Amino acid sequence: MAKLQTKDYQAIVSNMLADTGVILTQAEQEAIEIADFGLNNLEKTGLQLITYVNTERYCAKDLVLFPHQTCPEHRHPPRKNGDPGKLETFRCRKGTAYLYVEGAPTISPIASPPAEDIQYYTVFHEVVLHPGEQYTIPENTKHWFKAGEEGAIISEFSSNSEDESDIFTDPRIKRVQNN
């Protein structure tokens, strides 16, 4: 992804957050991560995020999804130090987020993964989040999520985040920072 394109996406994300009352400093705007997961299809499969704090004990982020954008299926595995893995709570701030977690598959789910990548999605228990609603994802639980037609903004509150240790169902994915 070209630097100019990354800067353009960062400006779009910053404006989306500002529309919900979240104002970023210049340094935060420049730190917005544009994650295409190495698939080069950002607007279909990807995620934009800003990390406000990430210490040994806790983490706070805002996740921004473009309309119908999907964050691919993954889990946060146990860590070498005996930690059970990342525990995270998603709180929807704007739009609709369709979250899929382990559990009984939902009959007739509202959203679906990108058609060309469906073979890499294995969990279909649907949790629909509207503004003001939240859901806590247990440690080491497979999950993926997708925005509705307006896109979505989700605040994430979690234990320490080590994105490089995430395990994705799709072997093509590279969890790298693109900015």
Structural domain spans, the chain: 3-168
Q: What are the residue ranges of helices labelled H in the chain?
A: 3-19, 26-31
Model's pTM, two decimal places?
0.95
Q: Hey, what are 22's tokens?
A: 């979240």
Please give the pLDDT value at position 178.
44
Please give the pLDDT value at position 175.
77
What would the mean pLDDT of 16-37 be, rounded to a whole number?
97
Helix (H, G, I), strand (E, B) or coil at 115: helix
Residue whose structure tokens are 């130090």:
81
> Each residue of 121-178: pLDDT tens digit?
999 999 999 999 999 999 999 999 999 999 999 999 999 999 888 999 999 998 764 4
Residue 25 has pLDDT above 70, yes or no: yes
Please give the pLDDT value at position 163.
87
> Each residue of 27-61: pLDDT tens digit?
999 999 999 999 999 999 999 999 999 999 999 99
Residue 128 neighbours by CB distance under 10 Å: 16
Helix (H, G, I), strand (E, B) or coil at 63: strand
Of the pLDDT bands very low, low, confident and very high (cuts 50, 70, 90), residue 179 is very low
Please give the pLDDT value at position 29.
97
CATH number of the structural domain 3-168: 2.60.120.10
Question: Strand 47-54 to strand 134-137: parallel, antiparallel, or no bridges (unpaired)?
Answer: unpaired
Tally of residues, the chain:
179
Residue 100 has pLDDT above 70, yes or no: yes
In 3D, which of 67, 136, 148 has the Cα closest to residue 111? 148
Residue 3 has pLDDT above 70, yes or no: no
**Whole-number Å distance between alpha carbons of 66 and 61:** 16
